[in-house]
Amino acid sequence: MSKWIPVTERLPEMHPEQDIYNPWMQINMVADTFLISDFVLVTGRRERADDDDPPILLGRYEDDLDGRTYWNGLNCENIVDVTAWMPLPEPYEEGNK
């Protein structure tokens, strides 16, 4: 069973990713490369959240390799005040308990 991991202890494992679609990229320019984690559960809040924002969100950790790191949500909203994260559980399969 997964458990919460404080961000002060460690961050999710990240992998390189390339931004293939960038409307500002000119022809013959190199695609932007950055590091990104898989989606995980995070305890935090959306940067522009309502008062009823849930205390647990789906997000991933990103590093733009230019000195900026951040948590990003499903709809590309910034997630702030992240204190811990947890890997997602395995998907449900019939007959699997």
Question: Where along the chain do its domains lie?
Answer: 1-36
State the pTM of this model: 0.78
CA distance 41 to 69: 17
Contact between 2 and 42 (Cβ < 8 Å): no
pLDDT tens digits, residue range 62-96? Answer: 998 888 999 999 888 999 999 999 999 988 888 76
Q: Is pLDDT larger for residue 19 or for residue 10?
A: 10
pLDDT tens digits, residue range 45-62? Answer: 988 877 777 889 999 999
Let me know if 30 is exposed, middle or buried by CB neighbors in 10 A (0-12, 13-18, 19+).
exposed
